[in-house]
Amino acid sequence: LPPMAAKTVTQLPVGPGWSFEPKYDGFRALAFAGPGGVVLQSRQLRDLTPAFPDVAAAVGRLGEVVVDGELVVWRAGRFDFAALQDRLRSGRVRVRGLVAAEPAAFVVFDLLARNGKDLRDRPYGKRRRKLEKLLGGLLPDGLVLTPATTDPAVAHSWMLAHTGTGLEGVVDKRADQPYRPGVRGWQKLRTRITAEAIIGGVTGPVHTPHELILGR
């Protein structure tokens, strides 16, 4: 099942009916849990389960569900994308060591099915409420419910205050929108850090310089 995707925009949408969530520096994944066990599937439809047995075990405690989210590793005060890649390159024995040393987490942001009932046609707002109810109790270690807000000012504050953690930006979702696999129906605004500088000199040709000497 290809996950629903987001198209890049240059500003947050305005008006009622929008919800905003942080965008994380991790691996997008769908988690399928049922009587036969748990499967973690990447955006490219790759099986990620062997690399993340800790997350699979946590999802398995939710019962029969299909959830969408982001696999992350948190280390030294920020998201560590290289640690995720290391999991994929490692064999079963080394993965066990990484689970103990650098545990992963699954940041869940959508509920696609529960107890055999397909929820993809339900509006996002209703799916979100069902997800909050599902994860509203004591969460198993390794699962995190992503925050969501309808206040653009809060979304802007996430982008300004958490750039040092590796937070990539904000995802914008319509509250009345169904889940459409493989469709870029959401929006994403990436955090960009800018600064003004004065060009004091160049190396190489002026029109195609090799390097710029800048002053802040």
**pLDDT tens for each residue of 3-35:** 999 999 999 998 899 999 999 989 999 999 999
Neighbours of 206 (CB within 10 A): 7
**Residue 162's pLDDT band (boundaries 50, 70, 90)?**
confident
148/21 Cα distance (integer angstroms): 5
Locate all alpha helices (DSSP H) within 61-201, ordered by sequence: 81-89, 92-101, 124-135, 152-161
Neighbours of 139 (CB within 10 A): 15
pLDDT value for 39: 98
Give the chain's mean pLDDT. Answer: 93
pTM: 0.86
126 is annotated as an active-site residue: no
8/14 Cα distance (integer angstroms): 16
- The 10s digit of each residue's pLDDT in 173-216 is 999 999 999 999 999 998 876 778 898 899 998 888 889 899 98
| Burial class of residue 181 (count of CB atoms within 10 Å of its CB; 0-12, 13-18, 19+) | middle
In 3D, which of 44, 66, 79 has the Cα closest to residue 169? 79
Output DSSP code: residue 163.
G
51-56: list long-range contacts, CB under 8 Å, 24+ apart. Answer: 51/87, 51/88, 51/90, 51/95, 52/87, 52/104, 52/106, 53/95, 53/96, 53/99, 54/99, 54/103, 54/104, 54/142, 55/31, 55/104, 55/105, 55/106, 55/142, 55/143, 56/31
**Residue 165's pLDDT band (boundaries 50, 70, 90)?**
confident
Locate all alpha helices (DSSP H) within the chain, ordered by sequence: 53-60, 81-89, 92-101, 124-135, 152-161
- The 10s digit of each residue's pLDDT in 113-136 is 999 999 999 999 999 999 999 998
23, 126, 130, 173: the catalytic one is 23
Tokens representing 67?
A: 């959830």
